[in-house]
Amino acid sequence: MTTLRSFQNEIQDIQNREVAKQRQHPAPAPKEKQAVEELAVPAAGTLTTNGEVIEDIEQIITTSILEGNHDTARNHLAALLTRHGEHILRLGQRPTQANIFGGELSENADAWTGTPRTIEEIDILTKGLQDNAKEIGGKATILFQTSDNHPRISILLRLPPPNVSSTPEVRCAVVGNVDSGKSTTLGVLTRGALDDGRGRARVTLFRHKHEVETGRTSSVGMEILGFDTSGAPILPDIPKDADPEVIRREKLGWEEISVQAAKIVSFIDLAGHEKYLKTTLYGMTSGAPSCVILTVGANAGLIGMSKEHLAIALALSVPVVVIITKIDMTPANKLQQTIEQVVKILKSPGCRKTPVFVKSLEMAVEIATVFGVEKLCPIFQISNVSGTGLNFVRTFLNLLPSSDGDAEKFPANQPFEYSVTEIWSVPYVGTVVNGIINSGNVKTGDTVLVGPDANGAFQTTIVRSMQRKRADVATAEAGQCVSLALKRIRRSAVRKGMVLVHKTETPPKAVSRFEGQVLILYHNTTLQQNYQAMLHCGAIRQTVRIVGMDHPLGILRTGDRATVQFEFISQPEFIKVGMKLLFREGKTKGLGVITRLL
């Protein structure tokens, strides 16, 4: 397993190096976008991503409020929120993260940081923040407060987005074994009505007749949960004892949620059954999730496909959140066994995660901002019938950093590139594609190229209209998931894995062969030349054949690393050096990175 860890670091270095090369010549930003940025950025040196400078701003705001200088406080608060949209301000002496995540707060002086505040000072600061936030059109909401030996408070400061096109979004892939409670948990989180213990909550999410009959998800479903400016979830008003049909009928439309939301959490609901693993794997690679939510039934433990899903998340280097469900119906000894098993697997050499059991609002607030960076794995214990633990999950989701805010992963100053993950034919509109903008930006009326087709060629088309979460938008930026209606393009001419790029004199090049550094995670015999497997690379899912390798014996076994040449079986694809790849066939699994196009 140490080989896997070192290989992951190696392919990450290759990816970073190649991405840096590709970004040496940034595309000029549109004039209107430059103007917006100039307005949003305060004086030089005032704000950076550097934590020290942010702390200086917090100090100026709090000092100004205590001194009664509300103009200064309001100006700095406006600068902070205009740049970042939201910010968590912590007042009072607070425990270190190690102290919080350890489960018990120590009174040791070294275990506390920040400026000590009296209860009176905290009350004055809270009132001042709420008033100043209101004056600039935002809201200051108390997330957590205590008045013990160390009075402290965490306040969410948030500005409403100017329009739907700039609403921050967090993408979460929800995985787990069959009957672990994935769809039930999503149904309760997004509808608000608790489950009745007999599947009432999950039925509202199913899209196909056979899913309702079997109670099992077979397709990649998408659900959204909106949070308003105060951080409260946007939920339909459903009676406590409503039947499934009422819950299904009373749900809020995506466009209603989008208009009200200051942040949107998109859940990619993936299938848990082994026969749908290909669909699940595609959802995890093409959806570019910020985190993977692994649901574990307390009554069954981490079994079957749950381990497979965890392995895929680790291979793709996506942060993992564990939700243990059904704690209301599980005997105490069995629940303890499940907890011990989850902790053991997370701490194993293959995972190297630090499990943190979220048992308070303070823990939920603190871990939401650091878990992806610090190799921490939050563990929530919930009941969808009684509602236990759901408040912690919602608080955590509300505070997660947005997926589209990752400038490293989704550069806005690069040429436009968009991956197609779904295609529809809509009456009176035509061909509509859904996907993620990998770089750059697009607006309605732009001329773009779509491809490659079976011959590797690209067609010219125009973006007729755009929607984000089913609400009409005029522009979209890197990192956002949007639907585009294309002019004069047949539904049959577009497939998953294609890309859209801005029209240029030299169209992009599609390739049939490429070379990659790979690690064989598992194979029961030996891999040789002409071996075929299903390759997953971003939104691309196609069978490839091994046409060459640098291994002296010409064979590969479990644990072997090699430089391998692949060939697409069906048609050429648009790929770039530095893209991560996963290939599998049966129980065979391999991980790698593209190093050369042939």
User: What interhelical angle do 70-84 and 119-135 show, nearest 10?
Assistant: 70
CA-nearest of 324, 288, 294 to 311 is 294
> What pLDDT was estimated at residue 41?
37
pLDDT for 284-303, tens place per residue?
Answer: 888 889 999 999 999 988 88
What integer is the mean pLDDT of 575-584?
Answer: 91
> What pLDDT was estimated at residue 230?
93
Residue environment code for 514-542, b if the CB has 16+ CB neighbours within 10 A, otherwise e: bbbbbbbbebeeebeeebebbbbbbbbbb
User: What interhelical angle do 390-399 and 361-368 show, nearest 10?
Assistant: 30
Residue 312's pLDDT band (cuts 50, 70, 90): confident
> What pLDDT was estimated at residue 415?
92
> What pLDDT was estimated at residue 45?
37
**pLDDT score of 136 more than 70:** yes
- Sign, CA dihedral 537-543-545-551, equals positive
In the chain, helix, strand, coil percent, each to 5? Answer: 30, 30, 40
Can you give the residue ranges of every domain in the chain? 2-23+511-597, 36-158, 164-405, 417-502
What is the DSSP track for 552-572? TTS-B-TT-EEEEEEEESS--
**pLDDT score of 169 more than 50:** yes
CA-nearest of 583, 135, 397, 475 to 592 is 583
> What pLDDT was estimated at residue 275?
64
Of 83-92, 233-242, 361-370, 581-590, the range with the lowest mean pLDDT is 233-242
3-class secondary structure, 234? strand
> What pLDDT was estimated at residue 369?
85
> What pLDDT was estimated at residue 228?
94
Residue 358 or 29, more confident: 358
Long-range contacts of 458-464 (CB under 8 A, 24+ apart): 458/501, 458/507, 458/508, 459/489, 459/493, 460/503, 461/486, 461/487, 461/488, 461/489, 462/486, 462/487, 462/488, 463/487, 464/429, 464/430
Tokens 């550069």, residue?
A: 411
> What pLDDT was estimated at residue 44?
34
> What pLDDT was estimated at residue 29?
44
No. of helices (H) and no. of strands (E), the chain: 16, 28
Q: Do the domains 164-405 and 2-23+511-597 match in fold?
A: no
**pLDDT score of 455 more than 60:** yes
> What pLDDT was estimated at residue 247?
62
pLDDT for 57-76, tens place per residue?
Answer: 889 999 999 999 989 999 99
**pLDDT score of 527 more than 70:** yes
Residue 393's pLDDT band (cuts 50, 70, 90): very high
What integer is the mean pLDDT of 509-538?
Answer: 92
> What pLDDT was estimated at residue 134?
93
What integer is the mean pLDDT of 31-35?
Answer: 39
What phi and psi values does residue 590 have, to the nearest 5 degrees?
-140, 150
**Cα–chain-centroid distance for residue 141?**
24
> What pLDDT was estimated at residue 2?
45
Q: Write down how long the chain is.
A: 598
Does domain 164-405 bear CATH number 3.40.50.300?
A: yes
Q: How far apart are the first and last CA of the chain?
A: 31
> What pLDDT was estimated at residue 196?
73
pLDDT for 179-222, tens place per residue?
Answer: 888 888 988 898 887 877 666 666 656 554 444 444 444 445 78
**pLDDT score of 336 more than 60:** yes
What integer is the mean pLDDT of 8-16?
Answer: 81
pLDDT for 71-117, tens place per residue?
Answer: 999 999 998 898 878 999 999 988 888 888 877 777 786 778 888 99
- CATH number for 2-23+511-597 (one of 3.40.50.300, 2.40.30.10, 3.40.50.880, 3.40.1390.10): it is 2.40.30.10
Model pTM? 0.88
Does domain 417-502 bear CATH number 3.50.50.60?
A: no
**pLDDT score of 389 more than 90:** yes
**pLDDT score of 277 more than 60:** yes
Average per-residue pLDDT for the chain: 85
For the chain, percent of residues with pLDDT exceeding 70: 87
